[in-house]
Amino acid sequence: MQGIMILKIARYITVVTPSSSVTSDGGFISGKSDRDKQLWNDCIHSVTKVMEASHLRSSSTANSVAKNKALSFLRQSRKLGMHPPVMIDQEPAGGIIVTFEEEDTSDEWTFYNSGEVEFTKYVDNKVVVLQNAGLGKDGCPNISKYTSNWIEPISSASYSMRPVVRRKTESPDLVASW
């Protein structure tokens, strides 16, 4: 009997406790797996290494303007709980391209050396949206305006910044078993 009760409590905790958490710098990370965290770390690290690699590999590459904008964008995207990108590449005329993918759709952010940021949405490899992304005060584009690449919907009421804690008696299941 006690065993069953422990199991039920465990199930209850799993159901009502959200996987979201608050990062030390106030960022909201929702449902991130260790793999996602690793991917985020790796891709951010790759951008920081662009400048080192640039003189070794090619003449056309990203400058510090593009690099810094791409970096702050990636950090903001991570904070907002987006899936990590699938690819980061260099724009052939100078800049950085960050690509997110979901089945047949891919969202592409291009950070040009001139400081311009461009958003491109592809569906089945065809461009359906192509526009300059306006930048906010922090120098980052308003990501939520353009993308749907969230791990979980950020606007949902159930995703409060605090983990939901309910009293045991709230569960009808548990009340019945008492």
Partner 1 sequence: MVNSPSKVYRQLILGGDPLWYDSSKAPPISHAAFLPSSQDTHGLSLIDTSLRSAVWAAHRVEAPKTQRRVAELDVSEIERIATEFDLSHELNCDQDELDKLFGEPIAHCLATYINRSDYDSKKEAKRKMKSWAKTVASKIAYENISEVQPLPSIHHCYRPPHFKFGSRRKALLEMVIRLKLLTFRAIKGLKQPFSNG
Helical pair 64-79 and 34-48, crossing angle rounded to 10 deg: 170
With contacts defined by CB under 8 A, name the span among 1-9, 10-18, 85-93, 158-166 that binds partner 1: 85-93
With contacts defined by CB under 8 A, name the span among 35-43, 133-141, 145-153, 158-166 that binds partner 1: 35-43
Distance CA(123)–CA(157), nearest Å, equals 30
The one among 66, 97, 133, 151 contacting partner 1 by CB under 8 A: 97
String of contacts with partner 1 for each residue 42-81, x by CB under 8 A? xx--xx--x--x---xxxx---------------------
Distance CA(172)–CA(174), nearest Å, equals 5
State which residue, 76 or 106, has the beta carbon closest to partner 1. Answer: 106
- Show the CA angle centred on residue 130, arms to residues 41 and 134, nearest 5°: 65
Could you tell me which residues come within 8 angstroms of residue 75 by beta carbon, excluding any fewer than 6 positions away? 44
With contacts defined by CB under 8 A, name the span among 18-26, 90-98, 139-147, 160-168 that binds partner 1: 90-98
Distance CA(113)–CA(75), nearest Å, equals 19
State which residue, 20 or 110, has the beta carbon closest to partner 1. Answer: 110
Verify binding: residue 87, partner 1, rule CB under 8 A: yes
Distance CA(89)–CA(29), nearest Å, equals 25
**List of residues contacting partner 1 (CB under 8 A):** 35, 39, 42-43, 46-47, 50, 53, 57-60, 84-94, 96-97, 120, 122, 125-127, 130
